[in-house]
Amino acid sequence: MALRDLALQDLAFRDLALHDPALHEPTPHETPAPRETPAQDALSDAVRALTVASERPARITPSGEVRVDFEFSRYVLAREVDHEESSAADAGRPWLVRVFRAVSGRTSDIELASATAPWLVDAFDAAYTALDTPGGTDPRTV
């Protein structure tokens, strides 16, 4: 048997062993990955969604909000809000997305826009749309 054939057989067996617990012998250094709680799972999904929507890295703040930083001292904070019922049955709790401008020398930053929607990406889009609408705060002038 050729070396290539042995390697392919070994890979096929490893793949099978990973999916069949009876064939998989855990090594001493293998530990099962901890399961995320539903709240942690929602935040992990939110980080991925905002990373894709904003095309920038997102992170979870110590207060449990998802933050995305932009140029010119702008940033977005997103969090789930308590609400009796959501308009979308499978959406869960609605999301609040706020856009801020950090100002040095001030104790609080300026909120430029905010939006709430049953889906995080919809709230993100609505908050940024509010920046450009009449009556909205133009981020270049604040």
Is residue 140 within 8 A of residue 133, CB to CB? The reply is: no
Q: Is the pLDDT of residue 115 over 60?
A: yes
Residue keyed to tokens 């449990």: 64
- Residue 107, Ramachandran bin (φ over 0: left; ψ between -120 and 50: alpha; else beta): alpha
Secondary structure element (H or E) that encloses residue 19, with its range: helix 3-19
Residue ranges with strand state E in the chain: 58-60, 66-69, 74-80, 95-101, 110-117
- Quote the pTM value: 0.63
Q: How far apart are CA 37 and CA 14, in angstroms?
A: 30
Q: What is the pLDDT of residue 108?
A: 85
Q: What is the pLDDT of residue 77?
A: 94
* Res. 111 pLDDT band, cuts 50 70 90: very high
Q: How far apart are CA 142 and CA 133, in angstroms?
A: 15
Q: How many Cβ atoms sit within 10 Å of the Cβ of residue 59?
A: 12
Taking only the tens place, the pLDDT of each residue in 52-101 is 888 899 999 998 899 999 988 899 999 998 755 445 555 568 999 999 99
Please report how many Cα atoms fall inside a 13 Å half-sphere around the Cα of residue 136, on the Cβ side.
17
Q: What is the pLDDT of residue 39?
A: 61
Q: What is the pLDDT of residue 123?
A: 93
The one-letter code for the residue type at 86 is S
Taking only the tens place, the pLDDT of each residue in 16-46 is 555 555 555 555 565 555 555 666 667 888 8
DSSP 32: P
Dihedral of the CA atoms 45, 40, 73, 122 (nearest 10)? 40
Q: What is the pLDDT of residue 138?
A: 47
